[in-house]
Structure formats: C-alpha cells, structure tokens
C-alpha cells in the first residue's frame, strides 16, 4: 500500500484501457494520490509499450500505477475483475459499442457488485447512435477528422493537417477525468454510481469554439488559416533572421498602440485610427503592418524579436523547440521537467505533475509497471492464496513479462 498523499488519497481507480485516453485519465488521478490498478489484457500488452524507445511513452503516462495482466474475456478473469471493482470508486474502460455487455460486464452487472461505482466508457464514437458508426474503430486522427478539428488545421490550398501530438486522446482523457470526479463527488454523498459515455469526436466538437458556433447560427464556414490569421494582419508566425519563427498576436487597442510605436508607424495616421483594435489583412494598413513586421523580424533573431515585442507589451513568443524549453529559465524555475526512477532503476526524465496543488501536491512515487508486475500482490489483496495464483498463471488467466 502506497503512502497517502495528494487530494485523491483514498480513491481507488481500476482501468482496462489501452493507448492514451483512458490511461491518461487514470494517470492524472494516480499522480494526485489515488490508488490506480491498470488491468492489461493477458497476452496482448498495451501497444504504447512499443511506440517509443525503451517504452518511454508508458513511462510518461503510467506512473504511480500497479498492473495486473488479466484475461477479462474469460469467466475466471471476469470474476477477478468484479472482485477488484467491489471496493473501487471509478472504473474506466475503452472499447467499441457494447463489448463489455457481450462479456457479461454490463453496467448493471458491475452495479450489482458495487452500486456506488462510477463507470467511464471511452470510445471513438460513443455507445449509442448510428450502429454502423458505433461499431467502427478509431484512433486520434480519425477522431480529429470526424470531430471537425482536422478541417481547421493547415493551409487552404493543401491537405488538412492533424494537430499533434494525440490532441483528441489527451482532450478525451481530460473530459473523462473531470466527468468521473464529478460523478464520484455525487456518489460519495448518495451511494449511487453513474455511467459516463465519452466519445473522442464529441470532446473535439465541444471545443469547436467560434468557428462552430458561427456556422450553427450564421451558416458561415471556416477557412484553414495556415500560419497566419485569415482575416487580420499581425496575427501569426513570422520568420526571423536566424531562420526561426515568432508568433505574434497584434490585437487590442493597447497592443496596437504600443506595437505601432515599436514599428515606427504613427497612430492616428491614415489607416491607423486612434481607437483601432486590429487591421484587416487586405487593407492598406494591414498590408503595411505585415510588411513592417516581416522587415522587423527579418532583421532580428527569434529571441531578439521575442524580447523586443514583449518589452513593448505586444504578445509574442518564439516558436519553442524541445531543446529551447529544456534550457529555458521559466521552465526550469517552475520545475516543468523532473526525474524519477523506473521500476528497473533507470533514471527517467519527463514532465512534472500539473496543475500543481499548494496544500496537497501530487507526487511521482513509482515508475510505470511492467506487464503483470503486481499480479501476485493484487490477487493476495483479493484473498487468493499462492496455489490459486499459481493455477491462474498455468491456465493463462494472468500473465507476466
């Protein structure tokens, strides 16, 4: 049993999900003190173990967890899962359609064992709706395509571009985690659990912002903007003299006033009225502004331009690379990157726990578990004896690597 820490100490989470969305939702809870048990399919390790050198993707997104490699599709495996869920607070699974019902693990079956259980179903297209769509497989780029995000990214004269890395998965995880904790809050007061249906594409359509609301109410369609705003000058990426880019947002009267002074343009002159907040891209003023910005940036390095615009009060950032972030003072002083030991004793460097909580902070207390690493411990907690555990290994109900 791990030492108590964090805001979720005392919460037990069990998940049977692969790849990113479900595990990352559980990961957040593990980092804030929840007891998290990862149920990995026996004989079918999570493919994230193989998508990076040394399994580093798993190290990043499976910290503080215990692992049991279990065949939940067979009767004995289902019974073990049900025992795990008897005192759990949250169960997260990722599958298509009614897969768990076909395994005799419907919500009603789970609630018969634990009425207060919060159940989170994560899938590409949800559990209900068009049967053809519900039954389809999905990955992050598929969700971006169907969820109308892909149409927004890239240049208007070229193919759309997916947002990286795994934006649909990470947003889905965020929605799933917040919904699970909201349901848990009610469950702890009433003793009644809930079932949450999280579809990847719906998290993206929920984040549709102004392009979506404008279309639904006014019928206007968005255009892919590329690296600069499709309507306004001074908003976008500008190439600097060292071959790097800065991103500038030249909007708002105060920004306009200060930015024009830096660029040597007189506020109040023709095309630049005193109360201006932005300039249309194709207007004479917009064309002049972009020309001055191109010239200014071309005469400075990205970091010099970053410093100059921010000193003038114009929102701007150099387009950071990982080496720049790793060397940056602000990143360093806010402890964005930390180190921990994996279960083999190897030192791993990765991203810290966010957001940070002042009074009850999260911790990294363990690296990602190997396949079936905690089988014996978890099963002993469920009152299995050594002979019973050995028999489960022999029949392939549990496995270890």
pLDDT tens-digit series, residues 229-264: 989 999 999 999 999 999 999 999 999 999 999 999
Token pair listed for 7: 């805001």
Tokens 């392009």, located at residue: 211
CA distance to 65, 88, 106, 238, 298, per residue, from 71 (Å): 19, 19, 17, 53, 60
Provide, rounded to the nearest whole percent, the portion of the chain with pLDDT above 70.
Answer: 100
CA dihedral angle for residue 286, residue 292, residue 296, residue 298, rounded to 10 degrees:
80
- Reported as half-sphere exposure (CB side, CA atoms, 13 A), residue 283 has a value of 13
- Read off the pLDDT band of 43 (50, 70, 90): confident
Phi, psi of 16 (to 5 degrees): -125, 80
Phi, psi of 120 (to 5 degrees): -115, 115
| Confidence (pLDDT) at 57 | 87
pLDDT digits over 338-397, tens only? Answer: 999 999 999 999 999 999 999 999 999 999 999 999 999 999 999 999 999 999 999 999
pLDDT digits over 57-76, tens only? Answer: 899 899 999 999 999 999 99
Active-site residue, from 140, 169, 194, 306: 169
Peptide bond into 319 cis (omega under 30): no
Please state, as a whole number, how many other Cβ atoms lie within 10 Å of the Cβ of residue 65: 26
Token pair listed for 196: 């949450």
| Confidence (pLDDT) at 54 | 75
Q: How far apart are CA 297 and CA 319, in angstroms?
A: 13
Please state, as a whole number, how many other Cβ atoms lie within 10 Å of the Cβ of residue 364: 17
Please state, as a whole number, how many other Cβ atoms lie within 10 Å of the Cβ of residue 251: 19
Closest to 61 in 3D by CA, of 120, 15, 12: 15
Q: Which residues, 6 or more positions from 42, have their beta carbon under 8 angstroms from its beta carbon?
A: 69, 70, 71, 77, 372, 396, 397, 398, 399
Q: How far apart are CA 273 and CA 253, in angstroms?
A: 10
* Strands, E assignment, 151-208: 194-199
Token pair listed for 75: 């009767």
Sign of CA dihedral 315, 320, 325, 327: negative
Phi, psi of 145 (to 5 degrees): -70, -50
Question: What DSSP string runs through 129-167?
Answer: S-HHHHT----HHHHHHHTT-GGGSS-TTS-----TTTH
Closest to 240 in 3D by CA, of 314, 292, 300, 319: 300
Res 289 pLDDT > 90? yes
Q: What is the mean pLDDT of the chain?
A: 95
Q: Provide the β-strand partners of residue 39.
A: 68
Token pair listed for 401: 């690597």
pLDDT digits over 145-194, tens only? Answer: 999 999 999 999 999 999 999 999 999 999 999 999 999 999 999 999 99
Token pair listed for 373: 């690493």
| Confidence (pLDDT) at 1 | 62
pLDDT digits over 122-131, tens only? Answer: 999 999 999 9
Tokens 């790793």, located at residue: 326
Please state, as a whole number, how many other Cβ atoms lie within 10 Å of the Cβ of residue 196: 18
Q: What is the DSSP letter of 222?
A: P
Q: How far apart are CA 95 and CA 212, in angstroms?
A: 28
169 catalytic? Reply is yes
Q: How far apart are CA 56 and CA 392, in angstroms?
A: 30
Peptide bond into 136 cis (omega under 30): no
Q: How far apart are CA 6 and CA 355, in angstroms?
A: 12
- Read off the pLDDT band of 37 (50, 70, 90): very high
Distance of CA 37 to the CA centre of its chain: 20
């Amino acid at each position: 049993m791990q030492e108590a820490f964090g805001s979720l100490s005392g919460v037990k989470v069990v998940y049977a999900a692969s790849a990113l969305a479900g595990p990352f939702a559980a990961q957040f809870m593990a980092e804030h003190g929840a007891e998290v048990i990862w149920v990995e399919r026996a004989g079918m390790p999570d493919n994230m173990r193989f998508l990076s050198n040394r399994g580093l993707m798993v190290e990043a997104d499976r910290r503080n967890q215990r692992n049991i490699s279990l065949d939940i599709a067979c009767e004995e495996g289902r019974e073990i899962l049900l025992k795990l869920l008897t005192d759990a607070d949250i169960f997260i699974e990722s599958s298509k359609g009614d897969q768990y019902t076909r395994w005799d693990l419907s919500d009603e079956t789970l609630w018969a064992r634990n009425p207060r259980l919060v159940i989170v179903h994560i899938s590409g297209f949800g559990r209900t709706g068009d049967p053809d769509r519900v039954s389809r497989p999905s990955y992050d780029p598929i969700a971006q395509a169907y969820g109308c995000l892909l149409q927004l990214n890239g240049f208007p004269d070229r193919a759309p571009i997916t947002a990286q890395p795994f934006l649909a998965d990470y947003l889905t995880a965020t929605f799933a985690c917040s919904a699970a904790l909201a349901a848990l809050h009610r469950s702890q007061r009433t003793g009644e659990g809930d079932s949450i249906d999280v579809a990847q594409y719906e998290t993206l359509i929920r984040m549709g912002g102004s392009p979506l609301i404008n279309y639904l109410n006014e019928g206007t369609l968005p255009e892919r903007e590329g690296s600069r705003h499709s309507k306004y000058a001074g908003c976008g990426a500008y190439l600097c003299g060292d071959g790097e880019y800065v991103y500038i947002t030249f909007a708002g009267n105060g920004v306009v006033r200060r930015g024009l002074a830096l660029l040597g343009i007189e506020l109040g002159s023709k095309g630049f009225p005193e109360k201006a907040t932005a300039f249309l891209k194709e207007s004479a003023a917009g064309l002049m502004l972009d020309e001055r910005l191109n010239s200014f940036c071309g005469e400075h390095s990205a970091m010099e331009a970053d410093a100059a615009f921010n000193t003038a009060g114009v929102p701007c950032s150099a387009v950071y690379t990982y080496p720049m972030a790793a060397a940056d003072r602000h990143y360093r002083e806010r402890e964005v990157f930390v180190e921990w030991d994996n279960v083999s004793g190897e030192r791993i460097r990765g991203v810290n726990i966010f957001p940070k909580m002042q009074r009850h902070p999260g911790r990294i207390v363990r690296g990602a578990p190997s396949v079936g690493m905690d089988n014996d411990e978890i099963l002993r907690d469920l009152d299995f004896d050594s002979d019973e555990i050995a028999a489960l290994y022999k029949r392939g109900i549990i496995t270890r690597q």
